[in-house]
Structure 1
Amino acid sequence: MQVNDESGKVTMLADVFQVSPHTLIQRTRLLPLMGRVLVSLGDPVQAQDVVAEAILPAKTVSLDGCRGLGLSEEEIKECMLSKPGDILKKGDLIAQREGTVSRVLRAPEDGTLIDVSRGKVLLGTDTTIVQVQAGLAGIVTDVFPELGVCLQAEGGLVQGVWGNGRCGSGPLSMPSVISDGESAGTDQIRESLLPGNVLAIEHCNNVDLLEKIMAVGMAGLICGTLAPGLIPLATSWDQPVVVLQGFEQQPVDPVSWEFSVSRIGTVASINASPTDLWQGERPEVLFPNEGGEPEKVLPFRVELAAGQRVRILAGPAVGRTGKIVALGEETEFESGLRYPTTTVQLREGDRMTVPQQNLAVLG
């Protein structure tokens, strides 16, 4: 996204991916409809804990309580035997009018009582339960009755570009050759699989390897890149998968990867939910710890500026990281297209000119 400053100079709003050894984060977990909150203020939670749930009906049945009971809208409320949220079987009493001739309102089929309003009783049938998980190891700092909670957590944080929608946690492990600074082959990765652990590998581009990871009982997977053809398989797994960079073969961003390597043996708390533009959240891995002064968390997107740590997203230097030295004017590239540019000093020391749209900020 391009923005113009007061001088008319064009700069870009770049995506931010947090890579922080120690930060304090707050996350809101809300139901898509009214339900019930399962935790209380101050409760500790783990990533896979369900903090709120609601019943979502596939079909609704509206019962005319006024007509069925011969009462006014206000009188019906006094006769209710069931309340919203109650699970009912076919024939169960919903309301009863006492008198010389008793009149009753029964459930016409199995379902859940959703609401009573203006004399109408709404029954949901063929229901499914919608659950919201914590997605991190932290504490409940606020409760929104019938909707959800606000959570707070402290620790190391790394964010990715894609997640399969699952949450979980486990000790982080990776093939020993990776921790020694070398790349691991498929056979070496297979030998390092520990049930209950979260595996971190640079690249996952082998269907046999992913199937093996899923079969042995791993608690999750963190990978630098994932082959596009493996997305359906990763999505089907009931454990979390977070991709740090993307789906094309590229060098692994050393900043994110070295951070992950430094956390071997510690518990990784994974929220692999898809990127949420509305909430400003990304798939992320938290390594809970306390102590020290937390680093500032950057917004979801920021305007590019000199001194920022960045990752190159495209071009011959894709995957490499560095710092912005200066913002440049629009330049025409070999493609014939013109883009606002930046001068980036790479970690290796050399400098290069990069289109601003090809950069992401590492928080």
Structure 2
Amino acid sequence: MSVPQYDRGAPPPGSATVSTLEYTEGGSWPLIRRHVINVALMILTLGLYRFWAITIMRQILWRRIRFAGRPLEYTGTGLEIFLGFVRVFLVILLPLGIIFMLIELGLQREMPTVDAGTVETVDLVYLIAVLMLIEMGRFLSWRYRISRTRWRGIRGRIEHPVGSYLIVAAASAAMIVFSGWLLKPVVDLYRANTILNTLNIGGLKGSYRGGVWALFPTWIGIWIGLALMAIAGFVAWFWLIGIVAISGSETFFYLAMIGFGLAVFWVVLYMLSIYRVAFWRLICNLSSVGPTRIRFSGSAADMAWLTFGNWLLIGISLGLLAPLTWERKIRYLADKVVVYGMPDPAGLRQVGDDDSAFGGEGLAGDFDIA
């Protein structure tokens, strides 16, 4: 299985290469040192300092990212991110927590008479709620970061109302769960369409010109492959148990399980990387901001290696080398993204402040900058 090309890296007709992203090396050690200090302060403040730590790290990283020779500027504050977390906790998390607690208490009280179908329905509701919260976190994160990022003094904003996107997040989460993840690409492209068509950067409107079913042929192959691997895993498990029962050797069982687990890990990672790369190629090829077009030339292999390398760095350092993973992500984007048809910066105008973004990132206030 290979990644669909979607005009991989090819410039749009009539466009000339204008600019690429650049990451100016300032050394990884200052970032790691600052991160270690941040972690220590978070421990001392029982996590409260986390919101200000995020801001400090982004300010450093944004200054190192250059587009068309000019650095980005991050104008967000720790207070905004903190207030966003408090608001989401009070408005969404606390009410949901109370509702779920009451449901659990009701189920426990009626447990002898509650049928399995009711329990499964409640579990599905929990899963949909979790997926909805994750998607709202992504939306609030993008909304906040775009509104607090400036280039040559110009900022952007996502103009889609937060309240109506909550409906999008809930409906899309339900579609994913009830379809057994089969409609994931449809949901992903619908969300992207919703956000991109309300994007405004310097007065230039965003646009996505593709349909929501474009990635379904790619995903159905991956979905079937993952299902077959799950079946193969169950068969292999019982086969190995039979071998152990006959031979009495547990060493072979453990070695075989480790080997099988590693093989499954790499295959699943590569298959999901195929989808991620196909998604970003399609989005870049069929989207625009004013006259600007973007091309993404990543491959499934380098995406899988980026993901695995970052997981490995986080795991072996218990998170202390997280700054290296942020730098790897930025370098990857700088290497794979090219911008065509950039308008004259003098013709850009400032968009209005996104006052609703003062509430910060909500659920997504973390160190993940990509």
Same fold judged by TM-score > 0.5? no
Larger radius of gyration: 1
TM-score (structure 1 length as normaliser): 0.17
TM-score when scaled to structure 2?
0.17
Question: Which structure's relative contact order is higher, taking Cα pairs within 8 Å and 6+ residues apart?
Answer: 2
Higher helix share: 2
